[in-house]
Structure 1
């Protein structure tokens, strides 16, 4: 970073607008995955073992049934992960705004004047004594 041939010298280029634009996508996808997981669980529970009693159905059931709870748990973890990313991006964007304001305040030039002075240089300029 900062040393490549075509590099513009930027180490990290974070745009708050990009973070804020990306955050809702993770929330939407978490909601979609949660809905799909709920549909999967409730439908399969309601249907029992809908894959049938033929050779292919038995083969599928033999592989799926022992892993069903693991699959459901993994999908639930993905929902939580997507939700966490959404929340982290929102917090990160807010943090960058707060940090930018703090840094701006640290580097704002403040003109110091001494009481009773007109703001002229008081450092002992070049006058004769």
Structure 2
């Protein structure tokens, strides 16, 4: 994609770059999902390992309400990475379709009856 070094090149989209980058987001989503699953299973299996003394209770009271928020936020990140992957693939396909459409606009069209009826322009 454009490196920003050429001021005359505002946007330089290469579909190959987009298609090459899209799977990275999918892989990231898979890795984060696996890590989140492992975290949830581990934490659920441990119970409350911090104990129930004064410090343990303080930690538990601060941590437990945030635990679900952290898990939820990580889940949102997984969905976000997945949607970026899908959007990049769609964008690459749409860019190719758009390029073909624009190329068609500038293709010479034969108009019947023009230039003596030969159908050529």
Q: TM bucket by the smaller chain?
A: 0.7 to 0.9
Name 1:106's counterpart in structure 2: 105
Q: Distance in 1 between matches of 2:102 and 2:21?
A: 25
Name 2:96's counterpart in structure 1: 97
Secondary structure, aligned partner of 1:14 = coil
Name 1:64's counterpart in structure 2: 63
CA 1:84–1:116: 2 relative to 1, 3 Å: closer
CA positional deviation for 1:112: 4.5
Name 1:123's counterpart in structure 2: none
Q: Which has the larger radius of gyration?
A: 1
Structure 1: 5+ residue stretches without partners: 1-5, 120-129
Q: Distance in 2 between matches of 1:107 and 1:117?
A: 23
The answer to whether the 8 A contact 1:44-1:50 is kept is: no
Structure 2: 5+ residue stretches without partners: none
The answer to whether the 8 A contact 1:23-1:90 is kept is: yes
Between stretches 68-77 and 107-116, larger displacement belongs to: 107-116
Equivalent positions of 1:1-129 (< 5 A) are 7-52=6-51, 57-112=56-111, 114=113, 117=116
Q: What is the alpha-carbon root mean square deviation over aligned residues?
A: 2.6
Q: Which has the higher helix share?
A: 2
Following TM superposition, where does structure 1 have runs of at least 4 consecutive aligned residues deviating by more than 6 angstroms? none
CA positional deviation for 1:64: 1.6
CA positional deviation for 1:113: 6.3
